[in-house]
Amino acid sequence: MIHLQNVSKTYPSNQGKSAPEFIAVQPSSLQVEQGQVYGIVGFSGAGKSTLLRLINLLEVPTTGSVHVDGQDLTMLSQEELRIARRSIGMIFQNFNLLSNKTALQNVEFALDVAGIDAASRKKRALECLDIVGLSDKAGHYPAQLSGGQKQRVAIARALANNPKVLLCDEPTSALDPHTTLSLLKFLKEINRKWKVTIVIVTHEINVVKYLCDEVAVMENGHIIETLDMRDPHVQP
Ligand code: ADP
Ligand code: ADP
């Protein structure tokens, strides 16, 4: 479902033009099978978030190719990429909801961007809020919702276009342990029920243990190890 080949990402140096570039992700390869929950772990600054954002080309790779669902995203035109991205949902640590829009409008926004007409948009958005158990909060603004509820709205938005892949960047870092667990259950259900392939960046070992089939460990921009979590001998 996802295949990154020799991708790297360098940023211009902030020490002036003559200084060497900064390498956030070194040539790394990553393969995620359809229906897997794949974890990316490592210390802060290891390049996890950059690697995740390379998958939907939020970061354009400096080298390498990014295949998702059979297409090399690096070869697509802007318009083709826009369409391909509909099948890749994303959620973030800080939820990234629009604060001046209600829960319903936040979900509708993703459908609007995908060119869905107003009537179908509202129906689908309500359906997605129902999936995440927040039908009764449709008219609430983000400020009126708890952290866990905000993340559920973000998930509803990410699911609106029936994605094949869901990218999660530290989705539970801002949540308390109880809310974290209910969110993890929920992600697992999405994975099981709709076979959505999930890639999740986290530094929490419990998240890995509960959710992941396979884990890539990152250090200094490299994937230094991959662990098969279904192997009973692996102790993360
Ligand atoms: P992690 O998610 O593991 O904490 P990141 O992928 O966020 O790591 O960052 C990896 C490295 O790349 C860090 O040293 C970070 O400072 C650097 N970095 C990330 N984004 C940028 C950027 N836009 N410009 C310059 N450096 C960046
Ligand atoms: P059924 O319940 O008839 O087996 P599904 O479980 O496939 O049908 O879908 C039920 C609802 O879930 C539909 O509204 C569908 O749009 C929605 N759905 C299906 N796949 C996804 C997905 N990947 N993300 C979000 N919603 C989905």
Most informative mutation of 50, 203, 220 for ligand 1 (most atoms within 8 A of CB): 50
Higher model confidence: residue 11 or residue 200? 200
> What percentage of the chain reaches a pLDDT higher than 70?
99
Query: Would strands 2-11 and 222-228 be described as parallel, antiparallel, or unpaired?
Result: unpaired
DSSP 225: E
> What's residue 235's pLDDT?
67
Residues 199-219 have a mean pLDDT of 94
Other CB atoms within a 10 A radius of the CB of residue 86 amount to: 17
User: From the centroid of its chain, how far is CA 48?
Assistant: 11
Q: How far does the centroid of ligand 1 lie from the alpha carbon of residue 171, in Å? A: 18
CB 138 within 8 A of CB 131: no
The closest-lying atom of ligand 1 relative to the alpha carbon of residue 43 is 3
Averaged confidence pLDDT in the chain = 94
Angle between helices 103-113 and 118-131 (to 10 degrees): 130
> What's residue 18's pLDDT?
76
The tally of CA atoms less than 13 A away on the side-chain side of residue 78 is: 0
Catalogue the E-assigned strands of 81-124. 88-91
Work out the pLDDT band at 146, boundaries 50, 70, 90. Answer: very high
Q: Residues for the chain: how many in total?
A: 236
User: Distance (Å, rounded) from C-alpha 157 to C-alpha 109?
Assistant: 8
H/E stretch holding 79 reads: helix 78-85
User: Distance (Å, rounded) from C-alpha 25 to C-alpha 233?
Assistant: 29
> What's residue 184's pLDDT?
94
| Matching residue, tokens 């039908």 | 135
> What percentage of the chain reaches a pLDDT higher than 90?
87
> What's residue 167's pLDDT?
98
> What's residue 20's pLDDT?
79
Residues 186-209 have a mean pLDDT of 94
> What's residue 61's pLDDT?
96
Most informative mutation of 191, 194, 196, 198 for ligand 2 (most atoms within 8 A of CB): 194
Q: Show the CA angle centred on residue 128, arms to residues 127 and 129, nearest 5°.
A: 95
pLDDT tens-digit profile of 103-115? Answer: 999 999 999 988 8
H/E stretch holding 39 reads: strand 37-42
Work out the pLDDT band at 236, boundaries 50, 70, 90. Answer: low
> What's residue 232's pLDDT?
76
> What's residue 202's pLDDT?
94
For the CA of 219, the nearest ligand: 1
CB 4 within 8 A of CB 64: yes
Amino acid identity at 49? S
Q: What ipTM was assigned to the predicted interfaces of this complex? A: 0.67
Window from 3-17, 61-75, 140-154 with minimum mean pLDDT: 3-17
| Burial class of 12 by CB neighbour count within 10 A (0 to 12, 13 to 18, 19+) | exposed
pLDDT tens-digit profile of 30-83? Answer: 999 999 999 999 999 999 999 999 999 999 999 999 999 999 999 999 999 999
Measuring from atom 22 of ligand 2, which residue has the nearest CA? 162
Work out the pLDDT band at 143, boundaries 50, 70, 90. Answer: very high
Task: State the pTM of this model.
Answer: 0.89
Amino acid identity at 10? T
